[in-house]
Structure 1
Amino acid sequence: MPTIRSATRGDAARVVQIYVESWNDGFGELMPTIEVTEARIARWADTLADGNWWVAEVDDTIAGLVGIGPSRDPVDPDLGELDTIAVDPAYWRQGVGKALMQKALQALASTYPEAILWTLANYPQGQRFYESTGWTLDGSSRDNGHQVSYRRRF
């Protein structure tokens, strides 16, 4: 079982590695590939410093990350958002994602009555995961139908 802890600026290089690998492996042909860059690491270091990010460790290795915040789309102070959840592909289907989701849901529930997340419309792997953790497709879309949203009430 992974250990969940608050993320720090010092985690940025490993977080970016996980983010890039999970993006490229998970989205495959659905999205263009991305790369690890110094600029991306610097942006993530700033992001991780806001206190709403956690990492999962397995045997002292960061295996995944999750972050939350107020909803950005729609902008609504009473609506939380699951910003990002990503797991190193080497740790997929080992409980890391579920442990991170549990932490995110606890944090969201302590601040918001409801939360939203956005994901790709044709991404069954992600959609099955969200549905298995209590999220419900809400019928909203953006980016010309390329993204769909899920909601969760607390």
Structure 2
Amino acid sequence: MSEKVILQTPTLRLARPDDRASLEALVERSVRDLGRGYYTPAQINSSLKYIFGIDGTLIADGTYFVVEVAGQPAGCGGWSYRRTLFGGDQFNDRSPAPLDPAVDAAKIRAFFVDPAFARRGIGRMLMQASEQAARAAGFRVLELMATLPGVPLYQALGFTATGALDQPVPDGTVVPFVPMCKPLG
């Protein structure tokens, strides 16, 4: 990628159904590159097959964002007013049930940044949009399931770890995550 592209101003918009193929490719690049050193190759492969991916419900709900640089997706992520905490459409542990903003936490979902744009404010831009939208919908708390490479970003954004989760997948691989939460001020 050229330096000229990297230096252009990022723009935020809602994801559309026709973004799916380019976002799935971004997810794979992100997990394979940014997950290296945090996850084993087997965990990366299994997480891409069974867990990580685009959740079409987020796109349909209008709660999933794309950050573009020079017309190319540099990152994606969003929030949800539904019970599902993590996982793409292929993940089995999903619930479309709506949350009650008075008692439930909004779910921060499916944040992925293209490695070429890592540590350039893309994740912060996505989080700001997600927090604003969740707050406008009446939520007072955010909850997410962090990947290991995502934990430092979420901590810097005010999230606190609430435990650890070792998620087994059908091939017997176990993928570690960190559940986190943040009150909305």
Cα deviations by residue, 1:77-124 (Å, 9 ceiling, x for unpaired): 32110111111111111111111111111112222111100124xx2x
Does residue 118 (structure 1) correspond to residue 141 (structure 2)? The answer is no
- Give the structure 1 partner of residue 131 of structure 2: 105
For structure 2, the residue ranges without an aligned partner over 5 or more in a row are 1-8, 86-94, 169-174
Would you say how many aligned residue pairs link Structure 1 and Structure 2? 148
Does residue 65 (structure 1) correspond to residue 88 (structure 2)? The answer is no
Q: TM-score, normalised by structure 1?
A: 0.80
Report the AA paired with residue 32 of structure 1. Answer: I
1:153 to 1:58, Cα distance in 2 relative to 1, 3 A: same
**SS across alignment from 1:146:** strand
- Give the structure 2 partner of residue 32 of structure 1: 44
Q: After TM superposition, list the pairs within 5 Å mapping 1:1-154 onto structure 2.
A: 1-28=9-36, 29-30=39-40, 31-33=43-45, 47-70=58-81, 71-72=83-84, 76-77=99-100, 78-111=104-137, 112-120=139-147, 123=148, 125-139=149-163, 141=165, 143=167, 146-154=176-184
Mark the structure with the bigger radius of gyration.
2
Contact 1:56 1:65 in 2 (8 A): yes
Report the AA paired with residue 152 of structure 2. Answer: R
1:13 to 1:34, Cα distance in 2 relative to 1, 3 A: farther
1:82 to 1:49, Cα distance in 2 relative to 1, 3 A: same
Q: TM-score, normalised by structure 2?
A: 0.68
1:72 to 1:142, Cα distance in 2 relative to 1, 3 A: farther
Contact 1:16 1:44 in 2 (8 A): no
